[in-house]
Structure 1
Amino acid sequence: MNLFASGENTQLNACVGRNGWPGTNYYANGFDSVVHTVCRDTISRGFGPDEVVYPIVFCARHRVELFLKMQIRLIERVRGHITVSDPKLMRTHDLGALWEMYVTASGQCDPRYKEMVSLIEPAIRELSLIDPTGETFRYAYDNNNNKHLEGSVSLINIEVFYSAFCALSEGIKNAEILTDFLSDEYGTGTYTKQASRSVIENISKELTRKSNWGKPCFRVVKNEICERYSISQRGLSEIIDVIKSHREFAFNIGVEISIEDISAEKIANFLEFRIRATAESNKSNWRDVLLSGSGMDREFYSFLCKNYSIREMSALLALADVSSPLCYSEAYDDLCDQYECGESDTAEFSGYLNGRSFIAPKIILGLKKLRQISTLKYISSVGVDVGDLPFF
């Protein structure tokens, strides 16, 4: 009998090894799923819990161990200056030591971890107390031939355990989501030693307009901000420097930082032409118009080739991409550079830009995200509908 072979029911073929390159998260999620599956079956079908309790708790504990090991490494990389683990991190099974490293790393990284830590801490500490090294529910006896659990726990109710594990599992997943979110946020580079991007954004909204900074009231505002966010005056000065050079946040202090890659006139001309092309294509199938290369589509393509440089077309594409809710405003410049470096042929680039769907409204949203007030006003003045501008 071959244990490790593919079967006729391909839906039950699990991809392992180099087939799919599963990482530690696959293992962690797998142990998590096993706990849910076995607990639900035990409760719903009335299975005897005396034997299945051991693999259930072992899988639950191992899921926690893998979570801590993965998260410690990831959190250390979020800001790039945190080092709490040791070279033996991945080999240790000491849940208590892993938990302390996680608490330290998350505390040094960002205060938004605090609530997550408080929610999952009781259950993880309880697991650590009952099974500190992962042996208690794996073997009946320890290395000294002493029976596990005799001096600690005598009853484990599967229903009670599963209810608590569900809350723990949800908390762990939320903590993992937070790390992914913070990795993206800190990846923008918009932060200081004392403040995250989120805090800097809030402070930019609380500062008065830059034109008032020479007035006595500004000192009062700064003192209140320092007290509220527990930052030093020097730390606030660093934050203010970030705000003054940040397109999105500078707007909150009354400063507009314009993009220099393309003029307002050329953006407006592109939008007018694109909107007209779309309106023309609505008389027939838009995809057919694109594939045929006839009519307005061909005229638009020629218009791009003759009037726009690769840098300008890169700017249009970057504005469209940065409009995504998943994209930070800081990404605009890198996107623009990437597009420019990726294409060298104007005609080819024009064809690509011409084929992008819904690009006109996306460009307008991108301009809004970058707080390009003057450009939006100009576009509106020539008759292109830019929608609401709530931040004016």
Structure 2
Amino acid sequence: MSDDPFFGLSGDSTWNACIGQQGDELHYVEGYLEAASELANAVIDKKMLAKRDTLVLPILYNARHAIELVLKYVGGQLFDCGVLAQRHPANHDIKGLWGHLVAADVADEAIRNHLKALERFIISLDRIDDDGQELRYHVSRDGETSLKGESLANIVVIRDNLKELSSVVDGLMHRTIGFVAERKSGTYSCRCSRADLREIAGMMPPLADWGTEAFTQAKNAVKERFSLSNTQFSKAIDAIKANREFYAMVGGETDLPYLLDDEVMLVVEQWRILHPDDAGKEPKVVQGSRFRSADLIANIKKRRECVEALSETVLCQEAADLEALFYLGRGDFYPERFEERAAGYLKSLGDGAELRARTARLLDKTNLLTCLERGARRAGRLSLAQRLGKPPAEQEPPHETNVSQAMRK
């Protein structure tokens, strides 16, 4: 064991904690807030009456420091992705940090709401400690007794409000992570984030009703909720119409680059041959001892036949779209990147042997149907998603296997 009293390691790694290069910025936020909650709970649950006066100080300080850290984290993330024009000065002024973010009027409803919910905690702690000193030292920088305007603090009240604070901080922290990730998709307007646009799409009537009173009512509701002008509303609608997934939410259809709906249904038809009992079911766990060589040989033969049956339909461009559709349904990327991902798959396909191998790997996937249905919906192919979601007996049969090249783009 090392002689270092705090950073030495023992032979038992059970209690090794990751810090430094193995740690994470958010561990600081979560750690200080969890420490405040754990201390408050310990004092109350263990009836540590003698420790009320000493532990209340680290409880409040840890809560304040967690707020400071989350505000600095959010500010840094928003600056790095170009939403904030400048950083707040590096200090311990939580009211200033909070005000800097509020003044930015971030184009995301959830972030604005989380900041609003944080306001009462900011006001309370800033009132007694505006620079992070008075909860740490008995005497302030100007020689005055710290917290001289306060006499009592109730740990039960603190404990109960720490629960709400934890919820607000957690919501702000994780929404910021999501917001920054969404910005990379390019889907947002000057006033609305990608998440806001999804909400707006869900509030709008079907396309067939646009231009009617139903549209006007929805428009007014959206403008009021998100504080949008007519121009800002129009830009939000333009962004929705340009997005495969959101346009589908109002009933719009968007074509895939090369893959036709009937071609997808032909793939599913061959997939059902390979997985006759798996459609809509969870994958089975099969013991290795139950495999027989004859069964494996028969399966390989059937698999080869299914791939061959698609050889005149699933060409390189169709295979790339199909692969992108599957992984979109699995949630691997945003629909906005569909063309880019399909182009990447196309580039990696290579010769005919690779095309057949990739087709076979897709047919092997027991979740192919589920992911294709989800992918079709997210890609804006509602009619295809509806066909894929029907039981086999109710599905519209595909056209001829060798779909005419004249039908292709």
TM superposition score category, shorter chain reference: 0.7 to 0.9
The DSSP-based 3-state class of the residue aligned with 1:182 is helix
TM-score (norm 1): 0.80
Structure 2 residue identity aligned to 1:27: Y
Aligned partner of 1:65 among 48, 68, 74: 68
The DSSP-based 3-state class of the residue aligned with 2:122 is helix
Structure 2 residue identity aligned to 1:369: R
Question: Residue 351 and residue 5 in structure 1: after superposition, are their counterparts in 2 closer, same or farther (change >3 A)?
Answer: farther
The DSSP-based 3-state class of the residue aligned with 1:294 is helix
Query: What corresponds to 1:15 in structure 2?
Result: 18
Quick check: 1:275–1:360 contact (8 Å CA) kept in 2? Answer: no
Quick check: 1:204–1:250 contact (8 Å CA) kept in 2? Answer: no
| Cα distance in 1 for residues equivalent to 2:209 and 2:166 | 50
Aligned partner of 1:134 among 132, 135, 138: 132
Query: What corresponds to 2:340 in structure 1?
Result: 334
Question: Residue 44 and residue 347 in structure 1: after superposition, are their counterparts in 2 closer, same or farther (change >3 A)?
Answer: same
Query: What corresponds to 1:124 in structure 2?
Result: 122
| Cα distance in 2 for residues equivalent to 1:326 and 1:176 | 22
Query: What corresponds to 2:401 in structure 1?
Result: none
Query: What corresponds to 1:317 in structure 2?
Result: 323
- Structure 2: unaligned runs, 5 residues or longer: 397-409
Query: What corresponds to 2:96 in structure 1?
Result: 97
Question: Residue 283 and residue 305 in structure 1: after superposition, are their counterparts in 2 closer, same or farther (change >3 A)?
Answer: farther
| Cα distance in 2 for residues equivalent to 1:165 and 1:219 | 43
| Cα distance in 1 for residues equivalent to 2:122 and 2:367 | 48
Question: What does 1:22-41 align with in structure 2 at a 5 Å threshold?
Answer: 22-41=23-42
Question: Residue 17 and residue 241 in structure 1: after superposition, are their counterparts in 2 closer, same or farther (change >3 A)?
Answer: closer
Question: Residue 225 and residue 313 in structure 1: after superposition, are their counterparts in 2 closer, same or farther (change >3 A)?
Answer: same
| Relative contact order higher in (CA < 8 Å, ≥ 6 apart) | 2
More moved, 300-309 vs 358-367: 300-309
User: How many residues get paired?
Assistant: 377
Write the deviation string for residues 188-237 of structure 1: whole angstroms up to 9, x where unpaired. 32222133445545358636747976x9x799679857864654444444
The DSSP-based 3-state class of the residue aligned with 1:340 is helix
Query: What corresponds to 2:403 in structure 1?
Result: none
| Cα distance in 2 for residues equivalent to 1:342 and 1:163 | 56
- Structure 1: unaligned runs, 5 residues or longer: 388-392
2:364 is the alignment partner of 1:355: yes
Question: Residue 109 and residue 76 in structure 1: after superposition, are their counterparts in 2 closer, same or farther (change >3 A)?
Answer: farther
**What's the offset of the Cα at 1:124?**
1.8
Write the deviation string for residues 297-316 of structure 1: whole angstroms up to 9, x where unpaired. 33334455665334322222
Structure 1 residue identity aligned to 2:368: I
Quick check: 2:204–2:215 contact (8 Å CA) kept in 1? Answer: no
| Cα distance in 1 for residues equivalent to 2:92 and 2:296 | 60
More moved, 275-284 vs 265-274: 275-284
Query: What corresponds to 1:158 in structure 2?
Result: 155
Query: What corresponds to 1:274 in structure 2?
Result: 271
Query: What corresponds to 2:406 in structure 1?
Result: none
Write the deviation string for residues 54-94 of structure 1: whole angstroms up to 9, x where unpaired. 2222212111111110011223456x3432424x43xx111
Question: Residue 324 and residue 95 in structure 1: after superposition, are their counterparts in 2 closer, same or farther (change >3 A)?
Answer: same
Write the deviation string for residues 300-350 of structure 1: whole angstroms up to 9, x where unpaired. 344556653343222222222222468643343333234334553324433
Question: Residue 51 and residue 236 in structure 1: after superposition, are their counterparts in 2 closer, same or farther (change >3 A)?
Answer: closer
Quick check: 1:271–1:384 contact (8 Å CA) kept in 2? Answer: no
2:87 is the alignment partner of 1:85: yes
| Cα distance in 1 for residues equivalent to 2:245 and 2:160 | 44
Question: Residue 231 and residue 32 in structure 1: after superposition, are their counterparts in 2 closer, same or farther (change >3 A)?
Answer: closer
**What's the offset of the Cα at 1:273?**
0.2
Question: What does 1:1-392 align with in structure 2 at a 5 Å threshold?
Answer: 1-3=3-5, 4-18=7-21, 20=22, 22-47=23-48, 48-77=51-80, 80-86=82-88, 88-89=89-90, 92-105=91-104, 107-149=105-147, 151-201=148-198, 202=200, 206=204, 209=207, 224=220, 228=224, 230-251=227-248, 255-279=252-276, 294-303=300-309, 307-324=313-330, 328-344=334-350, 345-375=354-384
**What's the offset of the Cα at 1:363?**
0.6
Question: Residue 225 and residue 207 in structure 1: after superposition, are their counterparts in 2 closer, same or farther (change >3 A)?
Answer: farther
Question: Residue 218 and residue 168 in structure 1: after superposition, are their counterparts in 2 closer, same or farther (change >3 A)?
Answer: closer
Write the deviation string for residues 78-132 of structure 1: whole angstroms up to 9, x where unpaired. 6x3432424x43xx11122112112223x23323334322322111221112111
More moved, 120-129 vs 235-244: 235-244
| Cα distance in 1 for residues equivalent to 2:332 and 2:239 | 22
Quick check: 2:102–2:115 contact (8 Å CA) kept in 1? Answer: yes
Quick check: 1:68–1:98 contact (8 Å CA) kept in 2? Answer: yes
Structure 2 residue identity aligned to 1:133: D
| Cα distance in 2 for residues equivalent to 1:98 and 1:138 | 20
Quick check: 1:207–1:253 contact (8 Å CA) kept in 2? Answer: yes
Question: Residue 37 and residue 255 in structure 1: after superposition, are their counterparts in 2 closer, same or farther (change >3 A)?
Answer: closer
The DSSP-based 3-state class of the residue aligned with 1:188 is coil
| Cα distance in 2 for residues equivalent to 1:121 and 1:148 | 23
The DSSP-based 3-state class of the residue aligned with 2:335 is coil
User: Percent identity at matched positions?
Assistant: 21
TM-score (norm 2): 0.77
Quick check: 2:74–2:173 contact (8 Å CA) kept in 1? Answer: yes
